Amino acid sequence: MMLGRTLELQVPLIAAPMAGITAAPLRLMYTQAGASMAVSEMVIAATLQAGNAASRHLASWHPQETIRSVQLYGVRPQTLDWAVKHLVQERGVHHIDLNFGCPVRKVTAKGGGSALPLRPRLFRRLVAAAAAAAGPEVPVTVKLRMGLGPELITFLQAGVAAADAGAAGLVLHARTADQQYSPPAHWEAVQQLVQAVPGLPVIGNGDVFEAADAVQLMRQTGCHGVMIGRAALGRPWLFEEAAAMLAGQWPDRPPPNLGHVLRLALQHVTAWADWEQDELGAVLKMRKLIPCYLAGFSSARQLQRRLFAATSLADWHAAAADPEACGFDPSEPYPVQALRVARLKGAGLVRGGAAQKVVLPPGWLEEGSDEDDDSLLECLDEASCEGVSAVPVALFDGTAEFYVHVEHAGNGDAWLEVWGRALGDMDAAAAAALFEPSGWTRNVVKYINMLDR
């Protein structure tokens, strides 16, 4: 599959961007397994331009990554122009994917993400700005959802507009924003988009749980490539299986047993700690992915508890090296029932479940409301797409400013990243004590509901 003039993907298989997950170590695992390209976590154009250290770290790649692919989010043409030029000229990016599919409520409430295609003039300006800034050698793709809900379908109009504005390809997550990640994905929409933009590569995304699904998606829709996201979490070998089947071959080995899966998880967390130069941070971040690696294994319950409690790589190594104490069987075959289990967002949601209410800015649906792009830009807020929220809270006898990242696992659990800065009477030692692994959950969990409002 060709994207633009220069980027050839030998296998039409792409690993999807996932915030807080697809850092360089996992991207490298995916491409080594069989994906032709793995897209970075989302980078926000405005924070990149502002010199934000976290954004600049997100826009970095492992030396072994042969294709540097980045997902970029921006709501102002001038900012996108700067960010794309910086990524191409200073960071050697080979591919840029523009995010117009984010379904998160706080993003659509500001007119961003999957709400932006409802403003076709601004949408076209953004795509055109990115494509012009990238130049002819770096393809820009546009990732879309079908729309906000069954009554607000935008993907065909947006796809045609993106093609006219210079996009080198389209990625369609075949769900509406109100579905979030719940089933089903509507593959028929991928076929409709292929027919609407003849000659432009269309990449299908959604409900690719097994290698055979990738083949079926391409056959059924005529799409040019497949993007896999959550289904590969804890299963990097899915790309190996899908690459084989897309080449007309049957995978030459069965899925790995529990011992092999545990070694892959240990490889992942070790590489993550090295990449971030933060062992504790990587171990805590890895907690949300432990259920993905161990899904369905009947002998892994005690092992999962041990890994959840780990605060160091040494704890991981000790658990992996002691099957008897952790009560797991390394030779347990991969469980068939885990193949089609939804992972992370959307896990546990049933077909036909209640849809999320999509929130839009006042007047967003009024006809002609994007006639004046400058006034329209006033309500847009790139910061609303940040995964980190700043929440001042009173704690004990002092006041601390916390930056809390909450990700729901879909089963009522939440995974947290916490940073804090002491203010007022709380000294640095007291603030640091709040973030000790033994106490951080107790101190922060009471504020989850406030963050979600």
Confidence of residue 95 (pLDDT cuts 50, 70, 90): very high
| Pick from 138, 124, 198: nearest CA to 168 | 138
Q: Model confidence at 364, in pLDDT bands (50, 70, 90)?
A: confident
**Mean of per-residue pLDDT scores for the chain:** 84
- For residue range 190-227, list pLDDT tens digits in order: 999 999 999 999 999 999 999 999 999 999 999 999 99
pLDDT reported for residue 374: 60
CATH class of 2-246: alpha beta
Domain boundary assignment for the chain: 2-246, 258-335, 387-452
Catalytic residues, which ones?
Answer: 102
Q: What percent of the chain has pLDDT over 70?
A: 78
DSSP 256: P
Which pLDDT belongs to residue 315? 97
The pLDDT value recorded for residue 367 is: 61
Residue 426 pLDDT: 37
Separation CA 394–CA 27 (nearest Å):
39
Could you tell me which residues come within 8 angstroms of residue 245 by beta carbon, excluding any fewer than 6 positions away? 211, 212, 214, 215, 251
pLDDT-derived band at 107, boundaries 50, 70, 90: confident
- Mean pLDDT check: name the lowest of 76-85, 266-275, 371-380: 371-380
- 347 pLDDT above the threshold of 90: no
- What pLDDT does residue 415 have? 38
Please tell me the pTM assigned to this model.
0.84
Helix axes 120-134, 155-164, angle to 10 degrees: 40
Instruction: Return the higher-pLDDT residue of 109 and 12.
Output: 12
**How many Å apart are CA 176 and CA 155, to the nearest integer?**
10
Supply the pLDDT for residue 342. 85
CA 353 to chain centroid, in Å, comes to: 23
